Amino acid sequence: MHSSSLQITFLGTGTSSGVPMIACDCEVCTSSDPNDSRLRSSILVESPTTSFVIDTTPDFRYQMLRIHNKKLDAVLFTHPHKDHIAGLDDVRAYNYIQKKPMEVYANALTIEALKREYYYVFADKTYPGIPQINIHTIDETSFMIGDISVIPILVWHLKMPVLGFRMGDFTYITDANRIDEQEKKKIKGSKVLVLNALRKEKHISHFTLKEAVDLATELEVPEVYFTHISHQLGKHEDINKTLPDHIRLAHDGLIIQLHV
């Protein structure tokens, strides 16, 4: 990576149950294509000096082990659902190795959930070995993590406000089924967009494949990847064949390089 570059690694691209799903023997869950095996959705964002994850899934420990990650400066949360926050306890390994607290960025709704789920981290009397974190409350105001500028984008997951994020020319949006017009303006001009596309059938709080394609087309982003994919969508290779040339399903382990 040169001095003004970003590298994005897809740590997971699956929905809340992951793919394969426990006890399912559908053609996707039994596929031998490694791209059909999806951990829960998360990405690692790296510049030459800064690295952070967006969401800590229930698979967070394994996700970081399988890419041999040794350094993490921060955790950024999109929303408080379990498949996005369940791995936070494992940042204590970084506390131990890096000898400092983990910087955690989340909106007020998510912080409330973290305080419930990880009550022992926030207790007056703590004990050795628990995660050490510094909480930063964020809203729609842009902020810096190290040398990376982050612009929050408010999207809707049915009635729950979820934060998408734009870093330079890269925008990441997961768990949404509606984006207001003024927030769409923040996405326009991105070179790469990641968007959730759960399945083909209508869903109460996620974009369908068609809705995601239509939105990507409307936003005129030249390179688009879909994530938060369920086993109901179909096999990776089959779905990719049906998509426009500039749109692809993301897969676990995919790396994108952006040069600013």
What the block records as the tokens of 14 is 């699956």
255-259/5-12 β-pairing:
antiparallel
Give CA–CA dist 34/11, Å, rounded.
14
**Domain interval for residue 220:** 5-259
Q: What are the residue ranges of helices labelled H in the chain?
A: 60-66, 82-85, 92-98, 108-117, 119-122, 181-187, 209-219, 236-242
pLDDT, position 3: 52
Q: How far is CA 151 from CA 10, 158, 168, 199, 212, in A?
A: 20, 22, 9, 28, 21
pLDDT, position 259: 83
The residue type of 85 is I
pLDDT per position as a tens digit, 181-208: 999 999 999 999 999 999 999 999 999 9
**Count of C-beta atoms within a 10 Å radius of residue 92:** 16
The residue type of 76 is L
pLDDT per position as a tens digit, 111-133: 999 999 999 999 999 888 999 99
pLDDT per position as a tens digit, 174-183: 999 999 999 9
pLDDT per position as a tens digit, 38-74: 999 999 999 999 999 999 999 999 999 999 999 999 9
Residue 1 has pLDDT above 60, yes or no: no
CATH code of the domain covering residue 80: 3.60.15.10
| Count: domains in the chain | 1
160-167/148-157 β-pairing:
antiparallel
pLDDT per position as a tens digit, 95-104: 999 999 999 9
Give CA–CA dist 205/227, Å, rounded.
15
What the block records as the tokens of 237 is 């290779």
